[in-house]
Amino acid sequence: MHTVGEVAELAGVSVRTLHHYDDLGLVVPSARSDVGYRLYAHADLERLQEVLALRALGLSLAEVAGVLDDPSHDRVAVLRMQAARLRAQRQRLDGLLAAVQDAIAAHERGVAQEVTEMFDGQDHEALQAEAEQRWGDTDAWRESQQRTSAWGPAERDRAEQWWAEHFAAFASLNEAEVPLDDERVLAAVAAHRALLNRFYACDAGMQRTLATMYVADERFAATYDAHGEGLAQYVHDAIQARADDVAA
């Protein structure tokens, strides 16, 4: 058994947070000491681990409670989603770290850093230009540009988080080999549609077209497959199979 102070230190959260989780019934300690102090068993720590994983995926406390208390709750699936999200973050940070380390080394040698080593390897402007060439005359492109033109760093960080959650959700399903007729796959396809609708109006037909591109364009495929082997094909197949089932 662990005291609330020990758990707070282990988990990297405050004692106040643990008290709040207890008050909400989210993570309730299994026992109390003779003087009333909270005592946490191993199972309580496992639940706290899941709570923190789901919170990191962007779920509210109410949504976390709904997931954990669902009779079909799958602890491993939650942890797989978090693992996929962390892999995506690690990949992005590895590129940034390599660029920064090279800058430090160049400075210490007293030379200018090679321009090809200064950034994270993504040809952002080229991708933007190609996207505009492909879709610049479409209503969806114009709508997306209008919605995002005023975004600042906070909004762009939030959008990055949305995509991280999308990759993580599908990576978890793919890794667990969840069949396409499973309701969790439908939920992921619906969430993908909702994500796209944050940028432009997207119906089932457009969603299926985008899914085709996820496997036809090697760069899209590589982006998805970086989050799990065969993920691009799985997402494509899921959307093609379930897009029409998403509620309008």
DSSP sequence for 45-73 = HHHHHHHHHHHHTT--HHHHHHHHHSTT-
Domain span holding position 230 = 123-245
DSSP, collapsed to helix, strand or coil, labels residue 38 as strand
Name the E strands within the chain. 2-3, 31-32, 38-40
Mean pLDDT of 190-218: 82
CATH of the domain at 224: 1.10.490.50
Q: What is the CA radius of gyration of the chain?
A: 22
Whether residue 131 is found in the same domain as residue 225: yes
Question: By 3-state DSSP, what share of the chain in percent is helix, strand and coil, each rounded to 5?
Answer: 70, 5, 25
**Residue 213 domain-assigned?**
yes
**Residues 20-61 pLDDT 10s:** 999 999 999 999 988 888 999 999 998 898 888 888 766 778
Cα(152)–Cα(150) distance, rounded to whole angstroms?
6
Same domain for 151 and 240: yes
Residue ending a domain, among 69, 92, 110, is 69
Q: How many domains does the chain fold into?
A: 2
My answer on whether 240 and 136 are in the same domain is yes
Separation of alpha carbons 245 and 81, rounded Å: 23
CA distances from 151 to 125, 155, 225 (A): 17, 5, 28
**What pLDDT band is residue 72 in, cutting at 50, 70 and 90?**
confident
Q: What is the mean pLDDT of residues 74-84?
A: 74
Query: Residue 63 domain-assigned?
Result: yes
Q: Cβ neighbours of residue 91 under 8 Å, at least 6 residues apart?
A: 226
Q: Angle 183-196/204-216 helices, nearest 10 degrees?
A: 100
Q: What is the mean pLDDT of residues 55-75?
A: 78
Q: What would the two tokens of residue 11 be?
A: 């988990």
Q: Higher pLDDT residue, 70 or 3?
A: 3
Residue 60 lies in a domain: yes
Give the pLDDT band (50/70/90) at residue 135. Answer: very low
